[in-house]
Structure 1
Amino acid sequence: MENNWYKIWNRRQGDEAEQPTLLSLLVANGYDPPWSSGVQESGWMAYGKHIAARLNITPKDSLLEVGCGAGAFLYPFYQQGNPVAGIDYSANLVKIA
């Protein structure tokens, strides 16, 4: 049996030459139409703040995300100074992250 998910996620790419933005990371992760309703940056930031509050994450806390994709979830934490790291099935998405 062929592993189609591996092919799908490794086809996703970003422009490694440009400085990533939250929007470019969301698109690389697959949150772009027509595959999703088009996640908005403001909603994503609110989601991150909600998770941070629920888990009592402070700027001094280190975060590791398993299945990080291009790093969109970790990006807001990185911007506020948290040490972040991630691993993912897709080598292309990890390069973006």
Structure 2
Amino acid sequence: MEELEKHARIFNLIAPFYNRFFRSQVRSYRSILDKYEELLNIPPGGRVLDIGCGTGAFISCFAERGYQTVGVDFSASMLKAARKSTRGKAIEFVQGDATQGLDLPDKSFDLVLSSYVLHGLSSALRQRIYEEAGRLSRGRVLFYDYNQKRRWFTDFVEWAEGGDYFGFVRQGEREMRVYFHDVKRVDVGPQTALYICSQ
């Protein structure tokens, strides 16, 4: 699929640069979990899946808290960086494309999450992510991404990346409500939100 091939090329190229932000990302994600983990309703030792895990920063924070963790990404270079950055942590990394379906059983995770993935995809591919996340989760689904507040610098960067940032900002939350019974948006930064979805 042309759109996904383009994304794979971009992320394979930028993985080494992107990984330089690993430590700052981990600090940010830890802070978010400190404040909002109880809203995710994960049982002790529960299973957590990160779709589009990138360099593994977010999923590593769940591994630190004793959860069984799996990270999935279609970029081989991102996964290579993730394995390097999270060495010593009990995280299983798998190469796969959630928009095409993952070779994982239905309802096999207590939390399925995806961080800063949706805004880079077309609406059609986002809807495949919603569907696949819902299939795999027996509990909550968490999307961490932009909210509707915009800044000119972010607008420029996301425009240059060539994703569907503007479409996601306008209609992403409405799209989620088609696939999930309940969607709770928690704004956690000037432009960012947790979208906590329940079946």
Asked whether the two chains share a fold, i.e. TM above 0.5, the reply is: yes
Cα contact 1:52–1:58 (8 A) shared by 2: no
Change (3 A) 1:51 1:95: farther
| Corresponding pairs, count | 79
Task: Tell me by how many angstroms 1:31 deviates.
Answer: 5.2
Could you tell me which of 57, 68, 80 is aligned with 1:95? 80
**Pairwise CA distance, 1:91:** 0.9
Tell me which residue corresponds to 2:33. 48
Larger radius of gyration: 2
2:29, 2:61 within 8 Å by CA — same for their partners in 1? no
Report what 1:85 is aligned to.
Answer: 70
Backbone CA RMSD of aligned residues: 2.9
Displaced runs of 4 or more, over 4 A: none
Structure 2 unaligned runs (5+)?
Answer: 83-199
Structure 1 stretches of 5 or more lacking a match? 15-23, 33-38
What letter is aligned with 1:11? L
2:8–2:74: 8 Å Cα contact kept in structure 1?
Answer: yes
* Structure with more of its chain in strand, by fraction: 2
* Aligned counterparts, 1:48-87, within 5 A: 48-87=33-72
C-alpha deviation, 1:63, in angstroms: 0.6
TM-score scaled by length of structure 2: 0.33
